[in-house]
Structure 1
Amino acid sequence: MKVLSIDMSAGSPATAHGSQGVRRVRVHRGSGSAAVTVMRLEPGGRIGRHPATTPQILIVTQGQGWASGAEGEAEAVAEGQAACWAAGEEHETWTDTGMTVLVVEAESPSAESLFGEAARG
């Protein structure tokens, strides 16, 4: 076994789509269609509005914030909750107080999984 430290301060800033106050650590991004990223949104941080390239699930592991989908309506999300988006769906995420999230993206999530919700739209 190997124990690794996930040091968000050593992560890279996420600035695409007008994002601000966001640092990320890539957990997985291989040659396949799946990616896993841990992101820390500082107080006032925002992942800017953009279309999902594949089905995505954003799992809140610490803190609370807001997410919106195609309709643009903000919904509160907090620790232990997840927001799911279908491929092509416009979405954004932000927080007033700070939030840590795990983002998983995959072209073909299992229909029997929580992540399968994102693929069904």
Structure 2
Amino acid sequence: MKVYRFDKEEGKKVAHFNSNFIMSRILKTEKTTQIGCMHLEANGIIGFHQAVVSQLILIVNGGGWVRGDDNLKVNITVGDAIYWEKGEGHETTTDTGLIAIVIESEELAPSDFMTIKAK
């Protein structure tokens, strides 16, 4: 398991076309990719299981914890992106609720665009 950052501080200012915003790049794929949004209510859980395909979850609201095969709980919050490789065991839990975008594909390389979160 790797935890990356995609918050504003990781982004770059965009000024093309008279624009004024910050873009945090996440990833680029050429193979089939599935993108969804997960809504976990208070005390929600995505139970421990092996990833069928590599997946990246982007925390956009709330927070909680994730754990991988090493069984260590890691605190997650808005702006964190958690990456699990195909076959890697993982679980997500929250006390207060969270919303996350999930990206699943055979071809994910988040380290191409994001930095790993400092511990």
Smaller-chain TM-score bracket: 0.5 to 0.7
1:32-43 mapped onto 2 (5 Å cutoff): 33-43=32-42
- RMSD between aligned residues: 1.6
**1:112, 1:62 → 2: CA distance?**
24
Tell me: higher relative CO, structure 1 or 2? Use CA pairs within 8 A at least 6 residues apart.
Answer: 2
Q: How far apart are residue 105 of structure 1 and its match?
A: 0.6
Unaligned segments of structure 1, at least 5 residues? 1-31
TM-score when normalising by structure 2: 0.65
Identity of aligned residues (%): 33
- Per-residue Cα deviation, 1:49-90 (whole angstroms, up to 9, x for no partner): 111111111110000100011111110000011111011000
Instruction: Name stretches of at least 5 consecutive residues in structure 2 with no aligned partner.
Output: 1-30
Question: Matched residue pairs, number?
Answer: 84
2:55–2:108 CA contact under 8 A, matched in 1: no
**Deviation at residue 112 of structure 1 after TM alignment:** 2.4
Shift of 1:33: 3.4
Q: Counterpart in 1 of 2:17? A: none
Aligned 1:37-116 pairs, distance under 5 A: 37-110=36-109, 112-114=112-114
Q: Distance between the aligned counterparts of 1:113 and 1:86, measured in 2?
A: 17
Cα distance in 2 between the residues matched to 1:45 and 1:85: 20
Between Structure 1 and Structure 2, whose CA radius of gyration is higher? 2
Q: TM-score, normalised by structure 1?
A: 0.64
Shift of 1:108: 1.2
Matched position secondary structure for 1:43: coil
How big is the shift at 1:35?
A: 1.0
How far apart, CA to CA, are the structure 2 residues paired with 1:63 and 1:49? 20
CA distance in 1, matches of 2:102, 2:67: 15
- The 2-side partners of 1:58 and 1:99 are apart by 11
Q: What amino acid maps onto 1:47 in structure 2?
A: I
Render the CA deviation track for 1:17-51: whole Å, top value 9, x for unaligned: xxxxxxxxxxxxxxx63211101100000001111
Deviation >2 Å, runs of 4+: 109-114
